[in-house]
Structure 1
Amino acid sequence: MVGIVGYGAHVPSYRIKVEEIAKVWGDDPVALSRGLVVNEKSVPSADEDTVTIAVTAARYALARAGIDPKKIGAVYVGSESHPYAVKPSATIVAEAVGASPELTAADLEFACKAGTAGIQMSMGLVDSGMMEYALAIGADTSQGAPGDALEYTASAGGAAYIIGKENTIADINATYSYTTDTPDFYRREGQDYPSHGGRFTGEPAYFKHVLSAAKGLFEKTGTSAEDYDHACFHQPNGKFYLRAGKILGFNSDQLKYGLLTPNIGNTYSGAVPLGLSNILDHAEPGDEIFVVSYGSGAGSDGFTITVTDEITEKRDLAPKTQEIIDNKKYVDYAVYAKYKGKIKM
């Protein structure tokens, strides 16, 4: 059985509240918070980017896994905000965590689901026997144009997963993907900010893919929502997350630990990996987890996961997701704009 041997999360400590952004653009903060189910979001500082987030998360994953990093045979970093257009993030991460140069490494991009794509790739490589361990990371410092709706949600954060066969803390039982060419969100080379299809990003983009992947996974495994203790979906905002869960038959107790967007915003490639890390922080041995990611363009990856007895011994070996989120400091719009490069010299 292939599964998660170690996991780690990281979210920048700076936050900006929805009302602070709304004050600049003259929007109604109460209506925005209720409509998006987002209260505040994380902000990367001047020296934080996708790579620094990925390295920190990977080090926490290694601390929980308790393995020699030189046994890692692959490193994948999924993101749509790699700091270099031509220069891999994965090589920096691999060397920073002490992995052997005798490995394969690559950057992945599929909007917000590049991290889960990395997990699937890692599963295949480990299950085939090509390598003992593989490291998959989803991390982003996402962009939103000044005054655009995305500015209220686009944030920063990520999580890392070491995939292996021995001493797993959670076994991955099945995976299923659903993908079409649906251009709901895109950013061309050289553009600072992405374009999006407004309400089109809900239907037929997000909901079609998330629900199709979830129903396909239910059919593949012969299960339904009531068979799971926890569920996590991609969360561009809290509203989409909760609606998808309700349509599929999940209740609020099953959904609560996976939903982080209200307090950190949409971390894009880090969204589902972070939601899953928080679930693992709270899950008990034997708990069943249902996970579906989403990436614009568009596609979803689904997983069913069973927590093992190892979780009780390993999860306290690194900072927990909520502890990281709770370590925060608020900034105003001017500081936020400076750190996000919105002020052009």
Structure 2
Amino acid sequence: CKAGTAGIQMTMGLVESDMIEYGLAIGADTSQGAPGDALEYTASAGGAAYIIGKENTIADFNHTCSFTTDTPDFYRREGQPYPSHGGRFTGEPAYFKHVLSAAKMLFEETDTKPEDYDYACFHQPNGKFYLRAGKKLGFTSDQIKQGLLTPNIGNTYSGAVPLALSNILDIAEPGDNIFVISYGSGAGSDGFSITVKDEIVERRELAPKTQSIIDQKTYVDYAVYAKFKGKIKM
């Protein structure tokens, strides 16, 4: 689930080393859940893409860092159509250990604190984990609410943090600072400190607004969902 932010980090490295001038980093995914599994309640699909370079940018990456351990809280056995998860184990020591550790590392390496940021967003397998992480780190509801999309569109896995960030950039103003922490089972978290530039004002309308796309969603019943997800076998 942190493949999207890992892609951003790799593209940052290629740009910084002058191997490429601009790169396209995409975080997109389709979440899976067995019939009746808790994962079905937030199963979703979505993604966001970012052009990364040194010139003509709308925001700067001030710093990035990562925290990883061997904590397999989520996995798919070979040949199995659906993934398995560790139940409560996915909270502690998986999600919260990595998100909070990466966040504290980012604070230390940038010599910043929650009050220095205008917005913050985290990986969001559900709304509860997201809100709890923000509260534990000392962010206010005003700082974290713009990035919380799971209650509206579900968990988009690798697309979750890129989408949260795009929703923040849709309203952010020049000079705003954004705190970003992803999470991926296995397990690890990537952290980013971002500052919005003046150029965002004139270029914001070049991309569709995240909320405008969300507003186009339509609801279907479970039978239609199961059919198109291939859960009904003949």
Partner of 1:130: 19
1:120 aligns with 2:9: yes
Superposed, which structure 2 residues align to 1:302-321 within 5 Å? 302-321=191-210
- Partner deviation per Cα, 1:269-298 (whole Å, 9 max, x = no partner): 000000000000010000000000000010
Q: What residue ranges of structure 2 are gaps of 5+ in the alignment? A: none
1:291 aligns with 2:180: yes
Partner of 2:129: 240
1:134 to partner: Cα distance = 0.9
Q: Give the one of 193, 203, 219 matched to 1:330.
A: 219
Superposed, which structure 2 residues align to 1:184-203 within 5 Å? 184-203=73-92
1:174 aligns with 2:63: yes
Partner of 2:157: 268
1:227 to partner: Cα distance = 0.3
TM-score by length of 2: 0.99
Aligned length: 234
Partner of 1:212: 101
Q: What residue ranges of structure 1 are gaps of 5+ in the alignment? A: 1-111
Query: 1: distance between equivalents of 2:78 and 2:170?
Result: 38
1:318 to partner: Cα distance = 2.3
Query: 2: distance between equivalents of 1:190 and 1:138?
Result: 25
Query: 2: distance between equivalents of 1:299 and 1:180?
Result: 6
1:189 to partner: Cα distance = 2.9
Partner of 1:278: 167
Give the secondary structure class of the aligned counterpart of 2:70. coil
- Partner deviation per Cα, 1:73-94 (whole Å, 9 max, x = no partner): xxxxxxxxxxxxxxxxxxxxxx
Query: 2: distance between equivalents of 1:130 and 1:252?
Result: 40
Superposed, which structure 2 residues align to 1:6-17 within 5 Å? none
Give percent identity, aligned residues only. 86
RMSD in angstroms over aligned alpha carbons? 0.6
1:329 to partner: Cα distance = 1.1
- Partner deviation per Cα, 1:113-164 (whole Å, 9 max, x = no partner): 0000000000000000011011111111110000000000121000011110
Give the secondary structure class of the aligned counterpart of 1:306. strand
Query: 2: distance between equivalents of 1:334 and 1:274?
Result: 28
Query: 2: distance between equivalents of 1:185 and 1:154?
Result: 15
Contact 1:245–1:255 (8 Å) recurs in 2: yes
Query: 2: distance between equivalents of 1:149 and 1:328?
Result: 22
Give the secondary structure class of the aligned counterpart of 1:329. coil
Query: 2: distance between equivalents of 1:232 and 1:321?
Result: 15
1:344 to partner: Cα distance = 1.7
1:188 to partner: Cα distance = 2.4
1:155 aligns with 2:44: yes
Query: 2: distance between equivalents of 1:120 and 1:188?
Result: 28
Give the secondary structure class of the aligned counterpart of 2:102. helix
